[in-house]
Amino acid sequence: MVTTVRGRAHSSFSAHPARTVVLAFAVAVMIGTGLLMLPAAAENGGATDVLIALFTSTSAVCVTGLAVVDTGTYWSGFGEGIILALVQVGGFGIMTLASLLALLVSGRLRLRLQLTAQAETKSLGIGDVRRVLLGVAGTTVMVELAVGALLALRFRFGYGHSIGDSAYLGFFHAVSAFNNAGFGLHADSLTRYAQDAWVTLPIAAAVILGGIGFPVLLEMLRHRNRARTTGRKNWTLHTKLTLITTAALLATGTLLTCLMEWTNPATLGAQDVWAKLLNGFFHSAMSRTAGFNSLDIGAMHASTLLMTCMLMFVGGGSAGTAGGIKVTTFAVLAAAMLAEVRGEPTSAVLGRRLGPHVLRQALTVALLGIGLVMAATLALLSVSRAPFEAVLFEVVSAFATVGLSTGITADLPGSAQLVLVALMFIGRIGPITLVSALALRERTRRYELPEERPVIG
C-alpha cells in the first residue's frame, strides 16, 4: 500500500509540466556542482569546497552572475567551460533543450515533452511548441555569434589580444550577456571598458534582446515580412506591453542614474558627458537582470542603489533569460491601479480589457516576490554585519537573477550564501511555477461564498 502511494505521488510529480521543469533545474544544479568540485575545474588543481561549487553552479544555471570567487582567476579553462555550458543550458531552458534534442533526433515530440516545453517557453498552444523551439535555438545562435564576433574584433584590434584570446573573451561575454548571466572573466567586470562603446553597447544589446523574452523576439521576427508588405505591425498585447515597458524602464533608469551619480567622483563624476550618458544607459540595461557593471556598484549613493533595486525587482520579459517579477506583471499592476484611481470597473491597457485572473496572477507574483525579498533580507541581516542597503541590494539581485553586487557576496557567512542560493533558484523558476510544482493537487471550488466588502485603507 505504501509502495502504491509513493508510486502515485512520483507519477503525479513527474506528470506535472511545471514540476518537471523545477526538477530538471535542480538536477542541472547538482550536476554542475559535482563537475565544479573536480580538481580539474580549479586553477590550482585542488578540490573546490562544496559551498563554492554549489553557489557557482546555481548562479550559472539560474543565469544570475553572483560569485563568491573570481571567475577568471579561480577557475581553470575547464571550470570556465563548465560555467559557460551551465549558463547556456540555464538560459536556454532545461526542458526546452531536451525537447529540441528530441525533435532533432527523432523528428517528433511526445506529448509530455511538448507540455513541459510549453510550460517553460510560455508557448500559446501545443501546436506552437515545435516552431518556438526552433525559433529559440536559431535566435540564440544568431545573436550570440553576432555579438561574439563584434567583441572578438574589438578585443583583437582595439586591445591587442591574440586571436585565440580575443575569440574566447568575445564569445564568453556574448553568451553570458545574451543569457543575462553577467559572468565575466575580469575581476572588475567591465569597468575597464567603461568608456568603450564598442564593448559596452554590443553587450547591452545582447542583454536587452535576451531579456525581453523569446516570445517577443519570435513574434517580431515573424511579423517582420508582414510589416514590409502591409505596413502594419500586428503585435499581440504581450509584445506591445513588453516593448513599451522595457523602453520606459530603460529610459527612466538611464535618467535617474545620471542624475544621482552625475557628480559622484567614484562613479560618473570624473567622466565627460558622453561617457556619463553611456554608462548611465549601461547601468540601466544591466539592472534589468544582467550582472555586468561598468561602474563601481559599491561606490554608488544609497539612492542609486535603491533605484537599482526597483529596476532589478521588475526585471525583464517573460519566457526569456531575464528574472524579476517581469515587465508585463508590472504593467498589469500599473493598469489595475490606474483603473481603480479612475473609478473604472475593469482594467484596460492599449485598447484591451484585462481578465480578473490576470490581475490575480500579477498580484500573487508581486506579493510573493516582496515577501521573499523581505524574509531573505531579515535572514541575512541576522547573520551578517553588512549595512542594510548592501544586504537588500544583494537579496534583490539574487531573487531577480541579476548578479550585480556591492562586493559583499564572498564575505557573507555560509548560511547567508545558502539563502542566496535558494533565492536564485526560486527567482529563476518563478514564484508561480515553484508553487504549482510543490502543490500536491489542484482544487476547484464547487460553490461561491456570500460576498462582503471589508474596509480598505
Q: What are the boundaries of each domain within the chain?
A: 13-438
Q: Which three cell numbers stand for residue 406?
A: 556591492
User: How far is it, in rounded angstroms, from Cα 252 to Cα 241?
Assistant: 16
C-alpha distances in Å from residue 18, one per residue of 49, 115, 118, 122, 201: 31, 9, 10, 11, 36
The predicted model scores a pTM of: 0.86
Q: Which residue type sits at 391?
A: V
pLDDT at 100: 47
Q: Which is nearest to 198 in space by CA: 166, 220, 229?
A: 166
User: How far is it, in rounded angstroms, from Cα 277 to Cα 279?
Assistant: 6
Mean pLDDT, the chain cut into blocks of 10 residues (457 residues total): 44 54 86 95 92 96 92 94 92 58 46 52 52 76 94 94 94 93 90 94 93 79 61 75 93 96 93 94 91 92 95 85 87 90 84 83 88 95 93 95 92 94 88 54 66 73
